[in-house]
Amino acid sequence: MESEHRQRRVVKRTSNACTRCRRQKIKCSGSQPCNGCSKRNLTCTFDERDQKVLVSRGYIIDLQREIASLKRTAGQDPGSPSSDYVDQDPDRTLEDADLDVGSSRDEEPAQPLEPGMHGGNNNSRFGTDLEPIGSDLVNPLSAGQSAFWSAENGRAFYLGTSSNWSFARRVLTMTHEHKYQAPLPPGTLLFDATAYDLGWDGFRSTLPDTPLVPAIDHAIYLINSVKFRCGQLFHIFDEEEFMSSLYNFYADPSARMATTGLWYIHFLVILAFGKAFVLQKNQGKKPPGAEFFVTALQLLPDASALCREPIISTEILCCVSLYFQSLDFRHSAHNFIGQAKRMALGQGMHTDMPIRHLGEALVQRCRKIWWTVYILDREMTSLMGLPQAINDNDVHAPLPTFLGSVQRTQTLNLQIKLSQIIADINSTIYGIDGRLNTQFLLSTKAALASMANLADELRHLLPMPLDKTISGVSRLTAYIHILYHQCIVLATRPLVFCFLRIRLESPDTLLRSLNSSPNVRNLLQMCIDSSQQMVNILNNLQSQGLLETFLHFDLESIFVSAVILLLGPVIDASLLDSLSSWLQKSYSIIDEMILNGNLIAKFRRSELQQLEETLGHLSPDLSQSSSGPITFQQTNDSSSKTAPSNTIPLVGSLAVSNDIMQPDPTILDEYNFNEGLTAAQILAVANSIDSGDAEWVSHAMAGNNSIWEFHQDAQ
């Protein structure tokens, strides 16, 4: 009986459980995703290292003796703290640890993982047969010492790892220095908080002048424009309470003099948004509605006062953050959304708030606020290239319900999942000293697999019929699809950066490197394809008059896409056809934003033109590789370096020897990139990455160690 009981106990201990349930010691259904994670809308991951195998204690003792013997041979004291194995799960018992064998990370000491970083655990779900190789090779976007770039006023800006601004700055710097053998001048470049001028130094030394509020009918018109532009994506105010206060404000003339309440501050920020959406004209460098926004900031009390009314305070902080982000005040936006996040956490909005005690209306409002804060914080932190601070294992807030709109709840669910994928990409692919070898490719596989899980769901819930004219494209649908493709670009563009640097430093070896790994070439093609998809979606919105010219989303997307599309033919002409037509679409979209008063778009266009000109100089015959003509701006600067040694030959023109493996043309045809990838196709690309690709990364980069250096001292 005792042996039977022991056997049943062992079987129970070896049941499958996800990482989150195992850490919190709660029951797990064992499905993928499990019931608990699915209910809380969290990423569900399983770590194969937690699967139990039954071995004898003698086997464990023999392994421990071998390890001790090897450490003594290496001259390390087996009993020293530095030689101890650090278990990644502190909740596991000694017996559990003894039963775990066969880990892909046995080659190096295990490092503690943050509980919310699911990406690292996801790797084991897609194969751990890749051997650790090339440990001295690192992701150039996140490795080594941190990189900074100085503006003309001397202020140094940190180049965040996953930041779109930082990526473009690195590419511009690299290509400019290769062409001119001189640092890139910062005079024409975009820096934080330089495109617009609010006309306020940020100090509350004097009382603000009360701006002239519009008539009630005009105010309602502005509020409705904000609801259409922002309300579908985020919760920015509670409509019932906000409109009730609005009518009270206009009904009582004396109420207009009481300009110290939080609702009035909220009202001013909403008016600032409405003016920006409707007017689309600047007063010099002042954006429309700046007078309302500045007055709101001057009246905004400190944290001690805001904490007394946390619900409306969190809504105000979200609005302020989004407005700052739209003006490219990225640091200010990130600080305000961080304050909103802490306010929401302090109020317990991240938890399953009890409806019975707090009431249905309040709980639903808090859930809408929380997920808005969550999504904006994820996005703004990624745009800054900073570590994500919210731990998903601590988030238990259910989704809110939207009366009469089931699709809105489903769309919010997709937004949250994509935000979680962004966080996973940041913590794995862009993690500190992210290695361009096994772990890097495994992280890429895990990220692609996560996106594959959403691909068919996205197509089913929010179809994007770009080739049909029966009905227009929804603004909300377009936003979700663009966010999806941004995730793919974010996950794969480190490889684009790698190939560009190889192209500049060792062009003769580029073709061999490309042809040595068709699977890695497919990842490059995925990056190009997602960039094309974003351009197509934005072009469709432009034709419908739905292009967003104030909020930052569309400009950020078109700029990222255009940079990738410019780099594609420079790496390999076969990666992109008709570059000229894609550039024409991109510039047309940016030009419309400029026409509608977006000052940031002027800088973005200038930087794209500068990159286009530099790449045209590096590859004079680039236009011959495309089906359409491409006219590059040629420089007449006498200081330009035109020596043959600095002219990069086109990839397609390089001589190909017979011993170089040619890529299988059926691979790209099978995946049919130009029509968008299905879940099965993305999984096929992810699962095709094997140890040979990791070996390619090692050999391709081994002879080009110097390309990972970012020459900050050359400024």
Domain 14-48: give its CATH architecture.
Irregular (4.10)
Is pLDDT at 116 greater than 60 in this prediction? no
pLDDT confidence tier of residue 676, bands split at 50, 70 and 90? low
Strand partners, 435: 138
What mean pLDDT is predicted for residues 90-95? Answer: 38
What mean pLDDT is predicted for residues 62-91? Answer: 54
pLDDT tens, residue by residue, 437-461: 456 667 777 888 888 888 888 888 8
Question: pLDDT above 90 covers what percent of the chain?
Answer: 37
Is pLDDT at 138 greater than 60 in this prediction? no
pLDDT confidence tier of residue 74, bands split at 50, 70 and 90? low
Is pLDDT at 204 greater than 90 in this prediction? no
Is pLDDT at 625 greater than 50 in this prediction? no
| pLDDT for the residue 572 | 84
Burial class of residue 349, CB neighbours in 10 A (0-12, 13-18, 19+)? buried
Give, for 117, the enclosing helix (H) or strand (E). none
Torsion of CA 61, 63, 69, 75, to 10 degrees: -120
What mean pLDDT is predicted for residues 495-501? Answer: 87
Q: Answer for the pair 113, 91: CB distance below 8 angstroms, yes or no.
A: no
| pLDDT for the residue 697 | 52
Domain ranges of the chain: 14-48, 413-621+678-702
DSSP 121-147: HHGGGG---PPP--TT-B-TTT-SS--
Q: How far is CA 573 from CA 181, 525, 568, 624, 696, in A?
A: 26, 11, 7, 9, 21
Is pLDDT at 267 greater than 50 in this prediction? yes
Highest mean pLDDT among 199-208, 519-528, 541-550: 541-550
Strand, coil or helix: 156: strand
Helix (DSSP H) and strand (DSSP E) numbers for the chain:
27, 2
Query: What's the CA gap between 174 and 141, in Å, rounded?
Result: 13
Is pLDDT at 661 greater than 60 in this prediction? no
pLDDT confidence tier of residue 577, bands split at 50, 70 and 90? confident
Is pLDDT at 396 greater than 80 in this prediction? yes
Per-residue buried b or exposed e for 592-629, using 16+ beta carbons within 10 Å of the residue's own CB: bbbebbbbbbebbbebbebbbbbbbbbbeebbebbeee
Identify the residue with better confidence: 681 or 293.
Answer: 293
Least confident residue range of 58-67, 391-400, 598-607, 647-656 = 647-656
Is pLDDT at 166 greater than 80 in this prediction? yes
pLDDT tens, residue by residue, 205-264: 766 677 788 999 999 999 999 999 999 899 999 999 999 999 989 988 666 656 568 999
Is pLDDT at 692 greater than 70 in this prediction? no
Q: What is the pTM of this model?
A: 0.73
| pLDDT for the residue 152 | 80
| pLDDT for the residue 515 | 66
| pLDDT for the residue 595 | 93
| pLDDT for the residue 668 | 38
Q: Answer for the pair 278, 225: CB distance below 8 angstroms, yes or no.
A: yes
What mean pLDDT is predicted for residues 534-538? Answer: 95
Q: How far is CA 241 from CA 263, 585, 710, in A?
A: 10, 43, 52
What mean pLDDT is predicted for residues 367-388? Answer: 94
DSSP 503-551: HHH-GGGHHHHHHT-HHHHHHHHHHHHHHHHHHHHHHHHHHHT---SSS
What mean pLDDT is predicted for residues 26-50? Answer: 79
Query: What's the CA gap between 134 and 146, in Å, rounded?
Result: 22
What mean pLDDT is predicted for residues 349-353? Answer: 96
What mean pLDDT is predicted for residues 265-284? Answer: 91
Backbone dihedral region for residue 625 (phi beyond 0: left; psi -120 to 50: alpha; all else: beta): alpha
Is pLDDT at 307 greater than 80 in this prediction? yes
| pLDDT for the residue 480 | 94
Identify the residue with better confidence: 674 or 509.
Answer: 509
Quote the radius of gyration of the chain (alpha carbons, Å).
Answer: 27
Q: At residue 656, what are phi and psi to the nearest 5 degrees?
A: -110, 120
Strand partners, 484: none
| pLDDT for the residue 470 | 56
Strand partners, 150: 156
Q: At residue 466, what are phi and psi to the nearest 5 degrees?
A: -70, -25
Least confident residue range of 126-130, 185-189, 499-503, 529-533 = 126-130
Is pLDDT at 374 greater than 60 in this prediction? yes
Match 């937004």 to its residue by tokens: 415
Query: What's the CA gap between 44 and 88, in Å, rounded?
Result: 18
| pLDDT for the residue 404 | 78
Highest mean pLDDT among 14-23, 70-79, 636-645: 14-23
392's tokens? 């998903």
Least confident residue range of 3-12, 212-221, 334-343, 654-663 = 654-663
Query: What's the CA gap between 277 and 583, in Å, rounded?
Result: 27
Identify the residue with better confidence: 710 or 45.
Answer: 45
Is pLDDT at 355 greater than 70 in this prediction? yes
Q: Answer for the pair 601, 590: CB distance below 8 angstroms, yes or no.
A: yes
Q: Where are the beta strands (DSSP E) in 400-450?
A: none
| pLDDT for the residue 516 | 62
Is pLDDT at 683 greater than 50 in this prediction? yes
Query: What's the CA gap between 220 and 465, in Å, rounded?
Result: 33
CA 181 to chain CA centroid, nearest Å = 32
Q: Average pLDDT of the chain?
A: 75
Is pLDDT at 671 greater than 70 in this prediction? no
pLDDT confidence tier of residue 154, bands split at 50, 70 and 90? confident
Q: Answer for the pair 340, 321: CB distance below 8 angstroms, yes or no.
A: yes
Identify the residue with better confidence: 401 or 60.
Answer: 401
